[in-house]
Chains A and B, each alone.
Chain A
Amino acid sequence: MSEPAVLKRTPLNAVHRQSGARMVDFGGWDMPVQYSGVMDEHHTVRRAAGLFDVSHMGEIEIRGVEALDLVSYATTNAPARLKTGQAQYSGLLYEHGGFVDDILVHKVAGDHYFLCVNASNQEKDYEHIRSINRWQAEVEFASPRYAQIAVQGPCALQTLQPLTPVALAPIRYYHFTDGEVSGAAARIARTGYTGEDGFEIYVAPDQAPRIWAALLDAGAGFGIKPCGLGARNTLRLEASMALYGHEIDASITPLEADLAWIVKFDKGDFLGRDALVKQQEAGPRRKLIGFQMRGRGIGRDGYEVRIDDAPAGWVTSGGPSPTLNQNIGLCYLPVEHAQIGKTIHIVVRNQPVEAVTVPTPFYKRAK
């Protein structure tokens, strides 16, 4: 057997360990899976505010007079439609239409785009974008220069506001501003992965422990709590946000993954476009759909879905929904079965358990 690889650590690793967080190996990163408990952290984010270390996420910066050409060719959404200070959810695809990754594209300036990408895909994404770059654009692997802290929940704005001179209320959802947090340069984005209002703050790694502590102090009156990846997953599942390696991967296209809205066919050429056009014409053969368990059991990732006693698909993510107090999940089904209200069975430890397909997202916050 080979020696276990040394886990990568975020700048907040020591803080998590000192605070008694339960740590796990998450795709090669030593990350907190929970602090006070998944249920408690989940409810705290829905009712007040939670603090997440997401410094494992990767950053790629693209600069140059033709930066937009490269970003537009590399991604499925339309970065040309972004205003400076605006962000966009998008897909990086292979030529065959499958996902390299799902990403956030931020327009910093006309000649500067900032990409936030998944932790375990960051090196792959960087190599991929570099390999297709034929423009006057420079691609930088910027992850080492950034830590990322997410403050999420209805009290997120009130928590963060005292720490920054930037007026947060005018920053609209999926917009960002460069400013300061606790005196340190920060990119403050009104984005998140929880289905709640909140901010994702990009700072220099050496500033992260100080800012983490300042946010916990500032949110103490609201009952803010540090949260782990466990709650991050139950929150994003309720909000039906895709997770790479589960809902999407190299074998899945955006049209199958209920992400047709991030594909802008009319923007000009992009990598994967031809494959998607073909799939669109023929019609995708499978689709992602939500389900709710009716029987006793939880449909977990990878479990088989059966319809009329025959294998029909698989669960991509599943678990208890703390907010709805139901067992929910997402699965792929053949298009002819992918309708709301369909009775399906999920094979839970060799037992078919009844479930029904339901609309997504499972949870939507009140505006």
Chain B
Amino acid sequence: MYPDNFRYTKEHEWVMVDGDTGTIGITDHAQSELGDIVYIDMPKAGTIVEKGKTLGSVESVKAVSDVYAPVSGEVIEVNQKLAGGPELLNQDPHGAAWLVKIRLSTPDEVGQLLTAGEYQEYLGAQD
């Protein structure tokens, strides 16, 4: 369910690091909690984001939820597939429905994030 090569936050974001690029998304748990997703607001390419600060928002039929940047850096790509079909985020949150790609400014931050095992443990403790 939760890929081992991802790192996670307690706010239910994930990041997959490849070189100096981090691909960011929200977890399956997050999409499931939100329910049917109808809007996704993400910053434009070129925006500088800071770990722990608001990256954008995801809106479902029920409510709006902020998405926080799991790492700091510059947004280099926004997933265009989501603009026309936000429901993709309900279907494939760990794959095709990534949100943005970021060029990491502080790669050391990644080590502070939860591993897949830690994240699942955290989810278990929530119930």
Contact = CB atoms under 8 A, between A and B. Distances in A.
Nearest to B59: A298
Contacts of B57: 349
Given A300-B64, A349-B64, A38 B35 contact: yes
Contacts of A34: 35
Contacts, number: 33
B125 interface: no
Contacts of A22: 33, 35
Interface in B30-69: 33, 35-36, 38-39, 41, 57, 59-64
Interface of A: 22, 33-34, 37-39, 230, 234, 296-298, 300, 319-320, 322, 349
Main secondary structure of the interface of A (DSSP, over half): mixed
Contacts of B35: 22, 34, 37-38, 230
A300 B38 CA distance: 13
B38 A320 contact: yes
Given A22-B35, A37-B35, A38-B62, 14 more contacts: A33-B62, A34-B35, A37-B36, A38-B60, A39-B36, A230-B35, A230-B61, A296-B39, A297-B39, A298-B38, A298-B39, A320-B61, A322-B61, A349-B41
A105 to B, nearest CB: 31
Contacts of A300: 63-64
A15 B28 CA distance: 25
Contacts of B64: 298, 300, 349
Nearest to A234: B61
27 contacts: A22-B33, A22-B35, A33-B62, A34-B35, A37-B35, A37-B36, A38-B36, A38-B61, A38-B62, A39-B36, A39-B61, A230-B35, A230-B61, A230-B62, A234-B61, A296-B39, A297-B39, A298-B38, A298-B39, A298-B59, A298-B64, A300-B63, A300-B64, A319-B62, A320-B38, A320-B61, A349-B57
Nearest to B66: A349
A39 B87 CA distance: 11
Nearest to A229: B62
Nearest to A233: B62
In the A-B complex, list the 7 residue pairs whose CB atoms are closest, starting with the nearest. Answer: A38-B61, A39-B36, A320-B38, A38-B36, A38-B35, A230-B62, A320-B61
Task: Specify which of B35, B59, B61 lies most central, judged by the most chain A CB atoms within 10 Å of its CB.
Answer: B61
